[in-house]
A = this chain, B = another copy of it.
Amino acid sequence: MAAPSRPAVPPAASDEPALLRPEIAAMAGYVPGEQPQDEGWVKLNTNENPYPPSPAVADAVVAQLAGRAPAKYPDPLAGRFRRRAAEVLGVDPEWILCGNGSDDLLTILVRTFVGAGEAMRVPTPSYVLYRTLAAIQGAACEELPFAPDWSLPEGFAAPRTAAGLPVRLAVLPNPNSPSGTIVPRRDLESIADRFPGALVIDEAYGDFADADCLGLVRSHRRVIVTRSMSKSYALAGVRFGFAVARPEVVRELEKVKDSYNCDALSIAAATAAIADRDWLRGNRATILATRARLSVALERLGFAVEPSQANFVWCTHPRRPHRPLYEALKARRILVRWMQYPGWGDGLRITVGTDAEIDTFLNALGEILAST
């Protein structure tokens, strides 16, 4: 209980045995997008929703704060959320597993399906975290490049890597980041028909797209869809995501998750959010309208812009190097994401902010392009 005095740090003896697993010592660690803790930034770098969540969220959290609720362990399976989400999605509650953000679900999935020394497969350029999760697990991560039109390469469904390792898990973000593109349903179905491992379709941005893959979970027992509440429900700060999978798969994933991986406040928040369908429809319509305006304006500024199905836009400039643009914007306290993929190239990923934020961004970008 008593506060002890400041520690004196003894030096580490250089002949001590290695403490860490060599995989951990060797890896660099995933670096998430910058999260400045001070105010005054136009933050278009981590695909947060620029609007506050449904007002029902705050009411639900405040109700949870009364009395002893914060002192009691939460429901391990978040039954309230499962029941409400099941109604929305048209599945039974036991098809749903809740997670502390969809990153938690991706971690659970890798640990459930991929052993040390085995392999998983992802497309590239895509979400860099997948590779990190493989490294932590001591597994290989085969990265197959997207075709120039962002379709999947032949071979994404192959049972083994080029080096001959069995591929236990493939992850396909759909819509993809950074491109914002989707793979057509018939191509996904063809992969699901042929790939012999677990196929995870990461629909973190699915609510902004024209179609989703829940139907594939029903028709293919090895398909798992993951969803995030961070983007489309404006709950990035609350950490809540869920997976949709067949019940016999969900029961296995439950063994691997932490017992109480979702807290009582986030369960209340997420349940209120997913129930407010009017809020989702209205927010989505606003984001999509701003996205269309942003895409046109970037093209007018000379960028090549991918048609986006997400809440961000991927753009490249045929002549101007991207990193100095990112840095000049940052100097004006506007954060976008400069992304570079070794052997592939780089570009800028711009989150769809409010109309005012996008105006600020476009004006600044126009000035930077004109002045340098």
Contact = CB atoms under 8 A, between A and B. Distances in A.
A165 B333 CA distance: 54
Contact of A246 (B9, B112, B234): B9
Given A237-B70, A237-B71, A238-B265, A32 B260 contact: yes
The 8 closest A-B pairs by CB, nearest first: A29-B255, A237-B264, A7-B218, A116-B116, A71-B234, A239-B263, A32-B259, A3-B90
Contact of A21 (B7, B114, B129, B246): B114
A90 B89 CA distance: 50
Contacts of A5: 90
A70 B12 contact: no
Given A52-B67, A70-B52, A89 B3 contact: yes
A35 to B, nearest CB: 5
A167 to B, nearest CB: 11
Nearest to A43: B72
A295 to B, nearest CB: 21
A266 interface: yes
Interface stretch (A99-107, A298-306, A320-328): A99-107
A76 B35 contact: yes
A68 interface: yes
A142 interface: no
A86 to B, nearest CB: 10
A95 B217 CA distance: 44
Contacts of A255: 24, 27-30, 136
B116 A6 contact: no
Given A24-B112, A214-B4, A75 B35 contact: yes
B20 A252 contact: yes
Interface residues of A, number: 114
Interface string A234-276: 1111110000001011001011101111111110010000000
Chain A interface, >50% SS class: loop
Interface stretch (A57-65, A180-188, A337-345, A364-372): A57-65
Given A32-B259, A73-B32, A263-B239, A52 B24 contact: no
A198 interface: yes
B21 A49 contact: no
B20 A112 contact: yes
Nearest to A69: B237
A117 to B, nearest CB: 8
8 contacts: A4-B214, A7-B217, A24-B252, A37-B75, A71-B236, A111-B136, A136-B256, A238-B264
B32 A48 contact: no
A270 B92 CA distance: 35
Interface string A11-30: 01000110111111101111
A99 B248 CA distance: 29
A351 to B, nearest CB: 11
A52 B76 contact: no
Contacts of A30: 255, 259
A356 interface: no
A286 interface: no
A276 to B, nearest CB: 14
Contacts of A3: 87-90
